Structure 1
Amino acid sequence: MWTGAWRRPHSYGDAAAEARHVHEALGLIDVSTLGKLLVEGPDAAAFLELLYPNRFADMTVGRIRYGVLGTDAGRIMDDGTIGRIADKRFYVTTTSTGADTVIEWFDWWNAVWGMDVQVVNLTGALAAVNVAGPRSRELLGRLTDVDVSNDGIAYLDAKEARVAGVPCLILRIGFVGELGYELHFASPYGEYLWDTLLERGADLGIRPFGLEPQRILRLEKMHIIVGQDTDSESNVLEAGMSWIAKLDKDDFVGKWALEHVQARGFREQLVGFEMANGVVPAEGGQIVVDGCSAGRVTSARLSPYLGKAIGMAWVRPQLAAEDTQIEIKVDGRLEAARVRLKPFFDAEGARLRA
């Protein structure tokens, strides 16, 4: 299936089984399509602080944070992770379709600000895979000499190490909600490292999984997909990520717009929902209250692990409360659902931090 300019496997035959297997054992997915940027220079931290609503200057070397990039009008344009790999060097990932837009955005603002920072697009030069599941640490331990215990590589750590002899940047992050590691490395090693991971993980039950299983798994954690769960008007406050907007910072791109949203109040909010009877509504389906449209579905899937039909939707603010009953139009009839504000799976993140 196509994702922007990239063609990626939908699945390897059974998307539901692949999603369940990541929870129960060990999965491997190619995430080389992620945008990958190097931001380096004396002003690198200050530069990122101005571009993103959250903080990066206080990060210690070897740590990662999630970041949502906003326009000067406060609208969500991209998201990804930012890892501090040296005092004046940051490794930034973007969505698979966002790398070119993000680097143009970075360059445009740096032309305005004139800061002492360089931005390099490494997207094509680096490959990346995500090893995920309860057995991922055991597999990684077989292939590297570094300490892979929770003390050695903690959640949201970034560490450079050799994996199967290949120099890698290991990012311990979890888009799919399980213990996992992203390995970023020079793209000529891509096929070799993929085959080696499958070979050395065979007795652990490793299986590749595709984009559709990944989307099921991320939905269980209520992780957004920019452009699907967001649109041209979405901002981090109404999208349920107010924690990411550090409005006490002196300035950042879009700050005034987010302050305006906070002052005027929310017009809609992004929430999760759980269907009462297991039917999966269409993405774009309408939330209905008293015969009138009160929101729209952005994502919906049947979770094979949870045995529930789950999704995300934009709703009126008065509906954005835990366990609020809503109705969703499905094939011309109204089906009952309840609002959920916490992730459907591992709400406290114990599996990610294990």
Structure 2
Amino acid sequence: MAQRTPLHAVHVRAAARMVEFAGWDMPVQYAGILAEHEAVRERAGIFDVSHMGEVIFRGPKALASLQRLFTNDLSRCQDGQAQYGALCRESGGIVDDVVVYRRSAEDLLVCVNAANRQKDFDWLHGHAFGAEVTNESDAWGQLAVQGPLAPEVVQKLTSVRLSSVGTYRFTEGEVAGVRCMVARTGYTGEDGFELFCPADAAPRLWAALMEAGQPEGLAPCGLGARDSLRLEMAYRLYGQDMDDGTTPLEAGLGWVVKLDKGDFVGREALVKQKEAGLSRKLVGFVLTEPGIPRHGYPVLQEGKPVGTVTSGTKSPSLGTAIGLAYVPPALAAEGSTFAVEIRGRPAAAKVVKTPFYAKKPRPQ
């Protein structure tokens, strides 16, 4: 039986369309994916992301231990700052992509993907290097309020001065009387906050936000809009765009791999791969002929398969078909062309710079 978040009953009462995702019964849409996508791009939307996991590193060895498991450099991360990166195997394959919230050098929260809750905990606990590692996933609820008007909505319910919380920064405070970790992070490309709260308080927090956000047109949003929003930004989705068999260098995440920071699990393999050269790269592309690319569709060059689409959709914001695909390095440069096989028919495609979507400046 699929697991349920603390907000499951709220979604069912709101007549959300529920689907199983990563072992969880989750809302895929409320009013509709296009309407929810537009709400986040133009106003504000609220997502239940309580299916994500939280693994905590504590103790005198917490920072040093996590530093040895994480591709990014936590020594450059200050208390109250979040950092994106990957956990790798010795082979360089990606265990997961995660966000680390540094509460102190002896208290770090690792936010992991829903499908990887147990796998990541087992991996982290098994390579703890002396830190105390606990899985607190069931204790937390997580709500994401995203969009250009998201700060106004959340500010109504808290005395925390949100303007002082920078991007990828966080603080502690009450929101609607609920003690939260308030983080200026997200998965949509828009401004907004992810609110980590006690699991049993999540329904109360959701209700307060929905009421406070009525003047701004705050819309409840499902996984469908979350996926189209993240793809317009070319944000990777674990299990689809990358997995244990791909490295961060291949997945275009070299910017969060700090090979000069000292040793970490997977570093030796990544150094060798970088020196030898990549055999494939993840690129963004648009179709220049009709069609919609989907996960698993073949990439063709001169009629022969040379790669694979990992994500694809018709962009709601741009009206064009966009996607991510692994291709040989010779086809990875911006402007390169290939075809995507869609139901037995080749559709022309072109490599473009990502993100696909540029955030609109707010009127002053």
| Fold-level similarity (TM above 0.5) | yes
Greater Cα shift, 72-81 or 273-282: 273-282
What is the aligned partner in structure 2 of residue 2 from structure 1? Answer: 20
Rounded to whole Å, the distance in 2 between the matches of 1:278 and 1:210 is 27
- Shift, 1:191, TM fit: 0.8
- Shift, 1:256, TM fit: 1.0
Matches within 5 A, 1:130-209: 130-149=144-163, 152-209=164-221
Where relative contact order (Cα < 8 A, 6+ residues apart) is larger, the structure is 1
Q: In the alignment, is residue 103 of structure 1 matched against residue 110 of structure 2? A: no
What is the aligned partner in structure 2 of residue 36 from structure 1? Answer: 54
**Aligned partners of 1:278 and 1:302 also within 8 Å:** no
Q: Choose the corresponding residue for 2:81, options 41, 50, 63.
A: 63
Alpha carbons of structure 1 residues 41 and 350: separation in structure 2 relative to 1, 3 Å: farther
Alpha carbons of structure 1 residues 87 and 129: separation in structure 2 relative to 1, 3 Å: same
**Amino acid of the residue matched to residue 252 of structure 2?**
G
SS in 1 for 2:68: helix
Rounded to whole Å, the distance in 1 between the matches of 2:339 and 2:101 is 41
- Shift, 1:13, TM fit: 3.6
**Aligned partners of 1:17 and 1:304 also within 8 Å:** no
SS in 1 for 2:215: helix
**Amino acid of the residue matched to residue 30 of structure 1?**
D
Rounded to whole Å, the distance in 1 between the matches of 2:223 and 2:304 is 35
Q: In the alignment, is residue 220 of structure 1 matched against residue 238 of structure 2? A: no
**Aligned partners of 2:85 and 2:257 also within 8 Å:** no
**Aligned partners of 2:294 and 2:313 also within 8 Å:** no
**Amino acid of the residue matched to residue 261 of structure 2?**
K
Rounded to whole Å, the distance in 1 between the matches of 2:192 and 2:279 is 36
After TM superposition, the runs of 4+ consecutive aligned structure 1 residues lying more than 2 A away are 349-352
Query: How far does the alpha carbon of each residue in 1:154-186 deviate from its partner, in whole angstroms, 9 at most, with x for none?
Result: 101111010001000011112111001000000
**Amino acid of the residue matched to residue 144 of structure 1?**
T
SS in 2 for 1:98: helix
Rounded to whole Å, the distance in 2 between the matches of 1:191 and 1:166 is 11
Rounded to whole Å, the distance in 1 between the matches of 2:361 and 2:136 is 31
Any gaps of 5 or more consecutive residues in structure 2? 1-18
What is the aligned partner in structure 2 of residue 345 from structure 1? Answer: 357
Identity %: 34
- Shift, 1:17, TM fit: 1.5
Rounded to whole Å, the distance in 2 between the matches of 1:280 and 1:164 is 42
Q: TM-score, normalised by structure 2?
A: 0.92
Query: How far does the alpha carbon of each residue in 1:178-234 deviate from its partner, in whole angstroms, 9 at most, with x for none?
Result: 001000000111111111110111111011110011000000011111110114320
Rounded to whole Å, the distance in 1 between the matches of 2:194 and 2:22 is 21
**Aligned partners of 1:274 and 1:309 also within 8 Å:** yes
Q: Choose the corresponding residue for 1:327, options 334, 339, 355.
A: 339
What is the aligned partner in structure 2 of residue 276 from structure 1? Answer: 288
Rounded to whole Å, the distance in 2 between the matches of 1:258 and 1:190 is 40
SS in 1 for 2:296: coil
**Amino acid of the residue matched to residue 125 of structure 2?**
D
- Shift, 1:350, TM fit: 7.8
Q: In the alignment, is residue 86 of structure 1 matched against residue 98 of structure 2? A: no
Query: How far does the alpha carbon of each residue in 1:83-130 deviate from its partner, in whole angstroms, 9 at most, with x for none?
Result: 1112321111000111211111111112xx3x2x21121111110100
Rounded to whole Å, the distance in 2 between the matches of 1:46 and 1:310 is 40
What is the aligned partner in structure 2 of residue 304 from structure 1? Answer: 316
Query: How far does the alpha carbon of each residue in 1:269-298 deviate from its partner, in whole angstroms, 9 at most, with x for none?
Result: 001111113520232111111121111101
Q: Choose the corresponding residue for 1:243, options 232, 247, 255.
A: 255
Rounded to whole Å, the distance in 2 between the matches of 1:299 and 1:29 is 21
Q: In the alignment, is residue 291 of structure 1 matched against residue 303 of structure 2? A: yes
**Amino acid of the residue matched to residue 274 of structure 1?**
V
**Aligned partners of 1:177 and 1:351 also within 8 Å:** no
Alpha carbons of structure 1 residues 203 and 326: separation in structure 2 relative to 1, 3 Å: same
**Amino acid of the residue matched to residue 64 of structure 2?**
A
CA-based RMSD: 1.6
Rounded to whole Å, the distance in 2 between the matches of 1:61 and 1:281 is 42
**Aligned partners of 1:298 and 1:312 also within 8 Å:** yes
Rounded to whole Å, the distance in 2 between the matches of 1:48 and 1:341 is 33
Rounded to whole Å, the distance in 2 between the matches of 1:87 and 1:254 is 23
Alpha carbons of structure 1 residues 5 and 142: separation in structure 2 relative to 1, 3 Å: same
**Amino acid of the residue matched to residue 290 of structure 1?**
E
- Shift, 1:302, TM fit: 1.0
What is the aligned partner in structure 1 of residue 265 from structure 2? Answer: 253
Q: In the alignment, is residue 46 of structure 1 matched against residue 60 of structure 2? A: no
Query: How far does the alpha carbon of each residue in 1:41-70 deviate from its partner, in whole angstroms, 9 at most, with x for none?
Result: 111111111001111123111000002111
**Amino acid of the residue matched to residue 142 of structure 2?**
A
- Shift, 1:148, TM fit: 1.2
**Amino acid of the residue matched to residue 241 of structure 1?**
L
Greater Cα shift, 275-284 or 217-226: 275-284
Rounded to whole Å, the distance in 2 between the matches of 1:322 and 1:100 is 38
**Aligned partners of 2:293 and 2:322 also within 8 Å:** no
**Aligned partners of 1:278 and 1:308 also within 8 Å:** no
